Amino acid sequence: MESIYYHRETQVFTLRTKHTMYQMQVRQFGILVHLYYGPDLGHTELDYRIVEQDHGFSPNPYEADTDRTITLDILPQEYSSYGIGDYRICASEILSQDGSDVADFRYKSYEIWEGKYSLKGLPSMFGTPSEAQTLSIRLEDSVTGVTAVLLYSVFPELDVITRAVRFENDGDRSYRLRKGMSAQLDFLDGPLDMIHFHGRHMMERMPERERLSHGVTQVGSRRGASSHQQNPFVILCRPETQEDYGLCYGLSLVYSGNFLLEAEVDQMNQTRVLMGIHPAQFWHEIQCGDFFETPEVIMTCTTEGFSRLSIQLHDALRSNLMRSPFVSKQRPILLNNWEATYFDFDEEKLFRIAEQAKKLGVDLFVLDDGWFGRRNSDFSGLGDWWVNEEKIKGGLPLLAKRIQDLGMKLGLWIEPEMISEDSALYREHPDWCLHFPHRNPVRGRYQLNLDITRKEVRDHVMKEIFQVIESCRISYIKWDMNRSLGNVYSTALAPEKQGDVYHQYVLALYEMQESLISRFPELLFENCAGGGGRFDAGMLYYSPQIWCSDNTDAIDRLKIQYGTSFGYPVSAMGAHISVCPNHQTGRSVPFEARAVVASAGTFGFELDPVNLSEEEAAKAREAMSFYRQTWKLRQLGDYYRLSDPFSNQDYVIWEFVSKSKDEALTEGVILRHQPNSPVFFLHLRGLDAGREYREIESGKVYTGAALMTAGLPLPLNYGDFCAFRLHFIVA
């Protein structure tokens, strides 16, 4: 079956995956309209869904002459532009040298080829000719010579379609792109709900569901990063859709900077959705013969609810976006020293921590902030990527050798995008930070953003970091970013180019990370931005995991990891066991519950193992042992959310099921014990109804149908925050 088909007589394009279908049509006057996106409807054309009629105060194209039934203000379009009679939110806005800001895009041609398109300097999904097929459609504005090339790649087996746009300048004058969204979806009927993922530092990706109503709804970021406050992943769904049933769409922007998702319900109850780079503080001059490519949007659709939607996205990201060898390989269990020491350490304290971690069975010791420059607090040192030998006597290579001689690997924290005013680098190059001329800067965490849009800055920083990595045989890097972009002005760019700084910053970031993983392909690389401030698909192209949140409290993490799981694999969520009382909340949680929550992520420790009691150390060993036994199921299996921590105050439960359906693991936390408690039933999902499963600890055997339909009573544990686990294999 072809995944992309063009019907020459009707000029209908059909894109088809295993279970879904996407359709558009070139209609009269070269107007490209959107017909449908949803479950596969077979070999049918849906142009009959377009009903043309006269609508008052909705203008008509000039070519329509006296025909008032054709209006861009009502037609569902594949890619809209400003100034041509469509008063809804638009996907593109072009400013010409004569001051006009109109582009009238009409169909010109198409091309279909095997394999996946690529984007210059931008992360995107990849695919072989056997995995993906690509369609490009050229839309042209005849007056300016501006061309919008709509790019679609279809991954049939993944039920995924990706989209991006390339703006080309074939005219004789430059023009300014002021808005260029990556994807547009026009829905002819509704209603639709939208689920977005808001938050704040230490409480990221909280799901919020709302009915799209008449007018414009927006979520996005203008912080220079995808942000803690919003996430560039959203779900659109029918009002009745839930975890295990109902029509829903997932849209994930493969981009780590400013973004915008906007949706408008129009006067005819149609819904338009746009996603791409935030147009605020953005413009890009496209010279004659040049082009600009937008970031990619990954789209997937299902009629089987949010769990199936998440599984489709998880599979797509793991197989065709994330490139690290650790995606399908067992990762080392690490211990990070940050909450154990903060800035207060020397080489002997670090070695004692590493030595005790090794006795526990930890694989990797990670040295966090404070090892470089004059970094004794967060007021100084950033930018000076040389070892602080006043704190680490003998230098980092000597300490690294001592730790590695224990049989452990060594990891390192870095923050390459930042500079402290109290640093040798700032004193030598004060112009290397982003700053407005003749103004005092706005500080964040008492640090400034390096102007990494400048090549000499990127080269200097990465050269110093590479030297440290090579001198110490570093096995893991944690790349942090602890403030939003501010003072966004580059003295290396002309005034008319300043609208490009935000985007050029993101491209520079990608170039730096590409240089890191290219030079050290076996490095385990973890991204971070004050925890989850840059948790997006763009970052996963470079690193297989992202520190999920700076909040290590296990009970808060239940909500954070729950929300994150809608759009991102569990294997991407950096999660650690920390001490109690917790450093962020002061809450005390049993060790078993902390271990279970961290196991629903990459699993590691954020504590001083020297201070663990014998009982806690034994529990830590047990948790590591079980995690190592089940890593493949967790990392590569299907993930199901079996309860909602925002509506259920009694328990939080999740489940992993192997792709072959011969193993399942259900874990959770009973949040509060109730006297004279009712019995709660656990209903598993994703099993084979006709097979029998044995619960390993009890030895009891159940049919898959019984586990999913009749369910199992939850254990009646005493006390709050009690963890539980049920592990099933085919009998």
C-alpha torsion sign, points 494, 495, 499, 503: positive
Q: Which residue has the tokens 């009238």?
A: 104
Catalytic residue among 536, 550, 667, 695: 536
Residue type, 123: P
Spatial neighbors of 119 by CB under 8 A, at least 6 apart, are 164, 293, 295, 296
Alpha-carbon distance of 254 to 276, in angstroms, equals 9
> What is the dihedral sign for C-alpha 459, 461, 466, 467?
positive
Handedness of CA 585, 590, 591, 595 (dihedral sign): negative
- Looking at residue 327, the DSSP 8-state letter turns out to be G
Q: What is the 3 state secondary structure string of 362-431?
A: CCEEEECCCCECCCCCCCECCCCCCECCCCCCCCHHHHHHHHHHCCCEEEEEECCCEECCECHHHHHCHH
**Which of 104, 347, 606, 616 does the annotation list as catalytic?**
616
For this structure, is 536 an active site residue? yes
Q: Which two tokens mark 195?
A: 């689920």
Is the distance from CB of 313 to CB of 252 less than 8 angstroms?
A: yes
Whether residue 608 lies in the annotated active site: no
Cβ neighbours for 447, distance < 8 A, ≥ 6 positions apart: 378, 382, 418, 419, 420, 482, 483
Q: Using an 8 Å Cβ cutoff, are 74 and 55 in contact? A: yes
CA atoms within 13 A on the CB side of 50: 26
367 touches 342 (CB < 8 A): no
Its sign, for the CA torsion 326, 468, 509, 477, is: positive
**CA distance linking residue 449 with residue 432, whole number of Å:** 9
Establish whether the linkage from the previous residue to 581 is cis, with ω within 30° of 0.
Answer: yes
Structure tokens at 284: 């890009």
CB atoms within 10 A of CB 54: 11
276 sits in which H/E element: strand 271-277
Burial 141-179 (b: 16+ CB within 10 A, else e): beebebbbbbbbbbbbebbbbbbbbbbbbebeeebbbbb
CA within 13 Å, CB half, 638: 21
Angle between helices 591-599 and 554-565 (to 10 degrees): 20
Would you please indicate which residues are annotated as catalytic (active-site) residues?
Answer: 536, 616
